[in-house]
Structure 1
Amino acid sequence: MESVKAQSYDVHIDELAQAALNQHIAKNDYSKIFVLVDTNTKKYCLPAFEKKFEESIDSIFEIEPGEENKHIQTCLQVWEQLSNFDGDRKSLLINLGGGVLTDLGGFVASTFKRGIDFINIPTTLLSMVDASIGGKTGVDLGSLKNQIGVINQPQMVLIFPEFLKTLDPRQIKSGYAEMLKHGLIKDREYWDDLRHGNIFEAASSIQKSIAIKNDVVLQDPTEKGLRKILNFGHTLGHAIESYCLENYDKKTLLHGEAIAIGMIMEGFLSHKLTGLSKLCLNEIKETFLQYFEKVDFDDNDMDAILKLLKYDKKNSHGNINFVLLQSIGVAVTDIKVPEDLFVEAFSYYKE
């Protein structure tokens, strides 16, 4: 399957990924090769990876999985391990895991010794279609998503679809939400293909999502304008995800589960503010509710979630900026939303 050319690196898929990895290692004189895994990928993915890798690994570093461990204390743990095992500026860090691990691992590599090479090998559908492109690295600040980080590109990204067999259905659906988002913001035909067929695990669909995101990032690598459209559903979605993470009486949501709610609500805002038709709005809601159970939010939950909006990364000059849809496949950025519409958006979701 054809590779995708990103800003300064390639995304290789399946057989090409294995060949590209071993060629890269052979032509670079790395002093040390380290692999970062979490407890899940160590068990389910590392053995398969080691069979593909022709060089010896100097050390394997293991962290705990999950968004709740995506913080600076985990970075400290990995930085110390890199130092203790004689990592230097000519070392390589291979990040084998989902989006939490590749975000954190990329940040660790970008800041250790002022920057060492890293390669991302995403192992979840979400990380393959989302975190694999764009060079965003970072960690959370408390329960606030992705507040600390840098944009820095990996040497390459390697996609092995076989790793999807290690995932439970909930993780697969979480990635599916991001794929549907790619259709909503950029490609109506892709949206229709995804929602009408069970093809979202196919390598061709993964490649399509990567290509859509990559096309946006190439035009706006530092998120000054167009790249903001990738945040559709994420303004409310991230606030919902953070709220559920910090409240023990709420079920912790996977990223895709939270942004699915965000896309329904921001679809409603799009209907009110930027011309999205009622027919398309209902189509969006019906599609996401087909795959994601409703989450119950009362008035206190809603108030707390809305207070978290002020921490969204797209905000500027005290304004909360939304990405909304004019139609399916056409997104617009920097839309200001009257506060009274937030209550209506929650009501629409709960109907």
Structure 2
Amino acid sequence: MKSIQAATYSVHFEENGYIKLSNLMAKKNYSSVFILVDNNTLECCYPRFMQNFTTNAPIEIIQIEAGEIHKNIETCVGVWNVLTELGADRKSLLITLGGGVITDLGGFVASTFKRGIDFVNIPTTLLSIVDASVGGKTGVDLGVLKNQIGLFANPEIVLVDPEYLHTLSAREIRSGTAEIIKYGLTYDITLFNEIKNNTELNIVDLIHRSIEIKNEVVFEDPKESGLRKILNFGHTIGHAVESYFLESLDKESLTHGEAIAIGMICESYISSKLLGFPTDKLSEIKETIINIYGKVEILPEDFESIIDLLKHDKKNIGGNVNFVLLNTIEDFKLDCKVPMDIIIESLKFYNK
């Protein structure tokens, strides 16, 4: 796959990615290298990485617990302390080897340690490959509120090796597929049609185009003042649902993609009510997503708590909940204000 040039870094693929990483190491002459992993990627991904990575700099592994529940400032403090204890300096490099949690948290840790050290993203899940590793967003959750603390910071390079996807469960592949569906609905219908029409689809074939889309959007609007907001489609309700299931003791937590899939159904419904989004396309979206993800039970008594979490979404301005909605596929409208009764209707529509 051909490399993709972002504003200040490049996304490199497969063997070429490891070559570019070696070139970076030689050029920058780092004093030490720290590899951030979780317990899953240490076992499943670290051995492959080390087979393809050589450096004369000393290497240290920093391991954190896997899961969104650990994507918080307390984990950051732990990593900052380990970096300090192991003698990391401003010429050290942090390599993030993992999924969205590792990528988001690791970039934030690197960008704030000693006012910023270099980092390299090596995403190992479909979600982190097509979304979290690209675009320069870093951060952690505040309690159950998603990505409330963070900053924009770019890696030196992103290295995408699809071989790491073989370590994932089918559920994790489905989770990442939600972000590709989002790109299809907002930006390039070809991606949505490929997923909708091909049950034997090799999802790796859609990776390059998905990263291209995110890069095009971020290149035009790096700080999310306009176009980049389309990347939030499905995420306004989706993040609230994800947070609610994460904090509920009597519910199984959802993956990010599962929650965003619910959000896309709800926000497509809202689009039909407020912008006249075609009902046949709404049905098509709901049917496609349910076929992939199945149904999650969202009880009427859950609605109020989900709405409360929605009010804390980081994209809100002046107390207003801001949505990205669709006039039709590939035709969006930003900063839409939605009445609470329509939001509740959308949750009921999902439940039908």
TM-score bracket for this pair, using the shorter chain length: over 0.9
Name the residue aligned to 1:82: 83
For 1:303 and 1:203, the matched residues in 2 are separated by 39
For 2:28, give the aligned amino acid: N
Check if 1:257 corresponds to 2:258: yes
Name the residue aligned to 2:13: 13
Q: Give the direction of change, closer, same or farther, for the CA distance of 1:201–1:96 in structure 2 (3 Å limit).
A: farther
SS at match of 2:303: helix
For 2:10 and 2:328, the matched residues in 1 are separated by 31
SS at match of 1:252: coil
Name the residue aligned to 2:228: 227
For 1:40 and 1:171, the matched residues in 2 are separated by 13
For 2:263, give the aligned amino acid: G
Name the residue aligned to 1:213: 214
Name the residue aligned to 1:59: 60
For 1:344, give the aligned amino acid: E
Residue pairs, 1:293-332, within 5 angstroms: 293-332=294-333
For 1:52 and 1:64, the matched residues in 2 are separated by 25
Name the residue aligned to 2:33: 33
SS at match of 1:243: helix
For 1:307 and 1:68, the matched residues in 2 are separated by 20
**Offset of 1:198 from its aligned partner?**
4.4
**Offset of 1:241 from its aligned partner?**
0.3
TM-score (norm 1): 0.98
1:233-292 Cα distance to aligned partner (Å, 9 max, x none): 000000000000001101100000000000000000011112210000001000100011
Q: Give the conservation status (yes or no) of the 8 Å contact 2:194–2:201.
A: no
Residue pairs, 1:49-198, within 5 angstroms: 49-56=49-56, 57-198=58-199
For 2:245 and 2:272, the matched residues in 1 are separated by 27
For 1:321 and 1:9, the matched residues in 2 are separated by 30
- % same residue: 54
Name the residue aligned to 1:244: 245
Name the residue aligned to 2:23: 23
SS at match of 1:34: strand
Q: Give the conservation status (yes or no) of the 8 Å contact 1:102–1:122.
A: yes
**Offset of 1:202 from its aligned partner?**
4.2
For 1:200 and 1:326, the matched residues in 2 are separated by 28
TM-score (norm 2): 0.98
Name the residue aligned to 1:4: 4
Q: Which moved more, 1:112-121 or 1:306-315?
A: 306-315
For 1:117, give the aligned amino acid: D
Q: Give the conservation status (yes or no) of the 8 Å contact 1:229–1:333.
A: yes
For 1:295 and 1:215, the matched residues in 2 are separated by 33
Q: Structure 1: which 5+ runs fail to align? A: none
1:303-324 Cα distance to aligned partner (Å, 9 max, x none): 1000111111111011111001
Q: Give the conservation status (yes or no) of the 8 Å contact 1:199–1:205.
A: no
SS at match of 1:276: coil
**Offset of 1:194 from its aligned partner?**
2.2
For 2:45 and 2:220, the matched residues in 1 are separated by 34
SS at match of 1:149: strand
For 1:299 and 1:193, the matched residues in 2 are separated by 34
Q: Give the conservation status (yes or no) of the 8 Å contact 1:10–1:156.
A: yes
**Offset of 1:189 from its aligned partner?**
2.0
For 2:87 and 2:33, the matched residues in 1 are separated by 11
For 1:300, give the aligned amino acid: E
For 1:161, give the aligned amino acid: P
Q: Give the conservation status (yes or no) of the 8 Å contact 1:91–1:116.
A: yes
Q: Give the conservation status (yes or no) of the 8 Å contact 1:271–1:281.
A: yes
For 1:277 and 1:109, the matched residues in 2 are separated by 45
SS at match of 2:112: helix
- How many residues matched? 351
For 2:49 and 2:313, the matched residues in 1 are separated by 36
Q: Give the conservation status (yes or no) of the 8 Å contact 1:176–1:200.
A: no
Q: Give the conservation status (yes or no) of the 8 Å contact 1:137–1:150.
A: yes
